[in-house]
Amino acid sequence: MSSNAEITGPVSQEDIEAAEKLKNEANEFFKKQNYNRAIELYTKAIEKNSKNAVFFANRSIANLRLENFGYALSDASKAIELDRAYTKAYYRRAAAHMSLGKYKLALKDFEYVTKVRPNDQDAKLKFSECNKIVKKIAFEKAISVDKKEVNIADSINLDAMTIEDEYEGPALEDGKVTLKFVTELMEFYKQQKRLHKKYAYKILIDVKAYLQKQPSLIDIKVPDDEKFTVCGDIHGQFYDLMNIFQLNGLPSEKNPYLFNGDFVDRGSFSVECIFTLFSFKLLFPNHFYMSRGNHETRDMNHMYGFQGEVTSKYTAHMADLFTEVYNWLPLAHCINNRVLVMHGGLFSKDDVTLDDIRKVERNKQPPEDGIMCELLWSDPQPMMGRAPSKRGVGCQFGPDVTNNFLQRNGLDYVIRSHEVKNDGYEVAHDGKCITVFSAPNYCDTMGNLGAFITMTGKDLTPKFTTYEAVPHPDIKPMAYANSFFSLLCQ
């Protein structure tokens, strides 16, 4: 959230004191992880006194916590403009740049601090760590250009992997996922045990082979009298995923599901979530669907924990294979030609059709603009028209944009996820844009409910089921996240 309030003349002592009081109140809400309320109060403080860099820097970190990277970036830049010597503002801006995958710009901020404060050991350390990341990425890019033809899935030799006698976990039957396997797998994971790497690799190879044959937009047919369930972000919250199946039944041919992206990152049971979901995908390929989210991408996985978790529980090689598999996840699903489901939202252009989505070449990391990017990153707004994204990627779209898109494509409404909602869901744009978010008490801090949507094929009227978070083992969210990034966000 950014304020346009600019104070051109001197600020009265009364306003300075009122602003300071609002900032202190905001800080208390920030400590309680109520970032939305904190942002509201920082904004009020800025309206009283827009010449204090601290207010902008504090609002920047609150926006970072809500993944509003675009707002975080502009607030940090404003704080720097007001106080060139304010080190913390450079760190905030660097964190926003890193969240957007702009590591070289982050490095520039650290470099500036080391120049103006040559004796600041903390700044030197952060510059050095960021420099390592920039060099590592440049090195990886150089290798990937050299080895462009290398296909990780094809290079894996499953026959060379032996199942040790002491392994007592679930086993594939003739190399195939069965209901017995996936049922045992979920129980195995509840006991915090690990699937054998041979079976893990086999699932990934098989899922990739299946997804490669699918279009970027999947058409789903739900019979009149049958139920269909749409779930939003899961974010590595395995025990809450198990609760969804407890409340709504296991996936089956009679109980189909669509999981709408962001299966991993932040929550520290992402490996368990993704192998459970991929197992159901292989077991019921025509009754279990998965959309790509903005967190099924290399940069987000690097920052927010999934890469670290896979490397810790398996290998860095497997983390690279996941990136290869995620590139093939579909970008959107259309239910009975009437309801479009995507992770993020709609588009910066008016003339996009379902056929345009079908034609998207998706086997890549998302670009910074265009249809693929906006499907993964965009958000609705209550105002008419469009606005730049609070996230710094994608766009914000109003009810008129939604209405025009639906009319052009003969659709009733859209379902998307991507945003935490207190009730687990939100109905916006006159009922035509629905958000569903299925990770309750997100990151163990947000206090939100989770939700899923059920409907029948006949009328496709959305019904909402909400639920609270369930207990999980004492492993904190972001336990595997990039430690350098966590330091920046303190």
Q: How much is the mean pLDDT over the chain?
A: 94
Helix (H, G, I), strand (E, B) or coil at 188: helix
Confidence band of 489 (pLDDT split at 50, 70, 90)? low
- Among residues 196, 235, 287, 295, which one is catalytic? 295
Confidence band of 468 (pLDDT split at 50, 70, 90)? very high
pLDDT score of 85 more than 70:
yes
Confidence band of 7 (pLDDT split at 50, 70, 90)? low
Confidence band of 482 (pLDDT split at 50, 70, 90)? confident
Least confident of 146-155, 282-291, 383-392: 146-155
- CB-based burial label for 384 (10 Å; 0-12, 13-18, 19+): exposed
Q: What is the mean pLDDT of residues 476-486?
A: 81
What pLDDT was estimated at residue 117? 87
What pLDDT was estimated at residue 488? 60
Q: Return d(Cα 351, Cα 353) in angstroms, integer.
A: 6
Q: Which two tokens stand for residue 211?
A: 């997804």
Q: Return d(Cα 172, Cα 70) in angstroms, integer.
A: 45
Report pLDDT digits (tens) over 150-160. 689 999 999 99
Which segments within 213-290 are labelled E, that is strand?
A: 217-220, 227-231, 257-259, 288-290
Question: Is the pTM for the entire model greater than 0.95?
Answer: no
DSSP letters for 41-82: HHHHHHHH-TT-HHHHHHHHHHHHHTT-HHHHHHHHHHHHHH
Q: What is the mean pLDDT of residues 199-214?
A: 98
Widest CA span in the chain: 78
Within 10 A of 2 (CB to CB), how many other CB atoms are there? 18
Phi/psi at 369 (5° precision): -155, 175
Q: How far is CA 235 from the centre of its chain?
A: 7
pLDDT score of 147 more than 90:
no
Confidence band of 146 (pLDDT split at 50, 70, 90)? low
Q: Return d(Cα 288, Cα 308) in angstroms, integer.
A: 27
Q: Which two tokens stand for residue 52?
A: 């204090």
- Are the C-beta atoms of residues 328 and 372 closer than 8 Å to each other? no
- Are the C-beta atoms of residues 416 and 433 closer than 8 Å to each other? yes
Confidence band of 6 (pLDDT split at 50, 70, 90)? low
pLDDT score of 289 more than 90:
yes
Confidence band of 129 (pLDDT split at 50, 70, 90)? confident
Q: Which domains does the chain have, with CATH numbers?
A: 13-144 (1.25.40.10), 154-485 (3.60.21.10)
Within 10 A of 429 (CB to CB), how many other CB atoms are there? 21
pLDDT score of 220 more than 90:
yes
Active site residue 295: yes
- CB-based burial label for 407 (10 Å; 0-12, 13-18, 19+): exposed
What pLDDT was estimated at residue 125? 86
Q: Return d(Cα 86, Cα 170) in angstroms, integer.
A: 55
